[in-house]
Amino acid sequence: MPTRSLLASLIGTALLGGSLLFSTLSQAADLAPLKVANQKSSYKLLLQAAGELKDVPYTIEFSEFPAAAPLGEALNAGAVDVGGLGDAPYVFALGAGSPLKVVSITHADGRFSTSILVPKDSPLKTAADLKGKRVVTNRGSIGHFLVIKALRDAGLQSSDVTFVNLLPSDARSALESGNADAWSTWDPYTTIAITQNGARILRKGDDLLTNHLYTAATSKAIAEKRVQLDDFVQRLDRAWAWANQHPKEYAQAQAKVTGLPLEVHLASAEATDFQKVAITDQVVANLQQTADIYREEGILSKPVDVSKGFDPSFNTVRGLPAAAALAAIPSR
């Protein structure tokens, strides 16, 4: 059993950076693998490009998902430990009864971000023109939520449009073939459609959405894999900071995985800034508003208290308090 002096030494070192404590714990126990869910290899390629997959004292098992909805289902089923979800998909997952907690939030401020797109020759000019039209998106996605918000902002209701629920790969084809009048989606799909197909932005979501990426973990993983999650969150924080400073290298890493032209990813990477966001009352309130809107729209069958879906104890970067963490991550 460790002596009091040893424990005091370990705790003191943790407050200064946590590295010695983590090393001691790693040597003392065989850490279980951390199962990480990806959308389009997002976390894996980011961490790999930033050099954050080197010298990891536990195994990271990555799995791939085409969109947030199936990723949320995997979290709900306990098939994965942690994954990234936007505001609306996270609410959707909580509404399904998922025992999840947000452990970290990253804000993406980009040129395109989440937007409603139309073909270049479309007669539609504003969100009000969507009345009676077919809008393709994925149910419960951030794209779905953007359409709801845009329609409300234009004085319309979701019943004024026909939703075509498809995953991004099929949604793009639906827009190009004329089977949909508009497509509500997110980057890199927005960049792809604009640069490769000449699609036009009908309505951006900058003033309607928070553009937060929630890193959410299962309650079971938080209880049983706390050491791994603490380390993983810090690696992500450093990786996003690296992406801000190395947009070309980040774009090159994305292009290798997606097979898309480098220019597509470079346009997005150069115009996007990633910042860590502390878990605050305002953040929780914003997400609660999303949940309430989904309830009003009948997408959620019952009210959801989103305050239960956050764990602010992870609100640190490299052992620093949350406030200092915000200043610790540089912007481009």
pLDDT block averages, 10 residues each, the chain of length 332: 42 45 50 92 92 96 87 91 91 87 91 87 97 94 93 97 92 94 90 87 91 94 96 96 96 87 86 92 94 92 94 65 36 36
Give how many domains the chain has, as a whole number: 2
Indicate if 246 and 319 belong to the same structural domain: yes
Q: Indicate whether 77 belongs to any domain.
A: yes
Indicate if 268 and 199 belong to the same structural domain: no
Say how far apart CA 61 and CA 49 lie, in whole Å.
17
- Given this model, what pLDDT does residue 112 score? 66
- Given this model, what pLDDT does residue 322 score? 37
Indicate if 200 and 219 belong to the same structural domain: no
The pTM of the full predicted model, rounded to 2 decimals, is 0.80
Indicate if 227 and 279 belong to the same structural domain: yes
Indicate if 101 and 120 belong to the same structural domain: no
Q: Indicate whether 256 belongs to any domain.
A: yes
- Given this model, what pLDDT does residue 24 score? 43
DSSP 32: P
Indicate if 220 and 103 belong to the same structural domain: yes
- Given this model, what pLDDT does residue 315 score? 65
- Given this model, what pLDDT does residue 206 score? 85
Q: Indicate whether 271 belongs to any domain.
A: yes
Q: Indicate whether 185 belongs to any domain.
A: yes
Tokens at residue 64, please?
């791939």
Residues with Cβ within 8 Å of 310's Cβ and at least 6 positions away in sequence, in order, are: 101, 102, 279, 283, 284
The domain of 177 spans 115-204
Indicate if 169 and 292 belong to the same structural domain: no
Q: Indicate whether 238 belongs to any domain.
A: yes
- Given this model, what pLDDT does residue 218 score? 96
Q: Indicate whether 21 belongs to any domain.
A: no
| Domain final residue pick, 204, 234, 268 | 204
Indicate if 179 and 84 belong to the same structural domain: no
| Domain final residue pick, 187, 204, 221 | 204
Indicate if 43 and 180 belong to the same structural domain: no
CA separation, residue 12 to residues 1, 5, 213, 228, 315 (Å): 18, 10, 32, 20, 19
> The CATH number of the domain where 275 resides is what?
3.40.190.10
Indicate if 91 and 197 belong to the same structural domain: no
| Domain final residue pick, 153, 182, 204 | 204
Indicate if 166 and 216 belong to the same structural domain: no
Q: How are beta strands 182-185 and 134-137 bridged, if at all?
A: parallel
Q: Indicate whether 291 belongs to any domain.
A: yes
Q: Indicate whether 26 belongs to any domain.
A: no
Indicate if 42 and 147 belong to the same structural domain: no
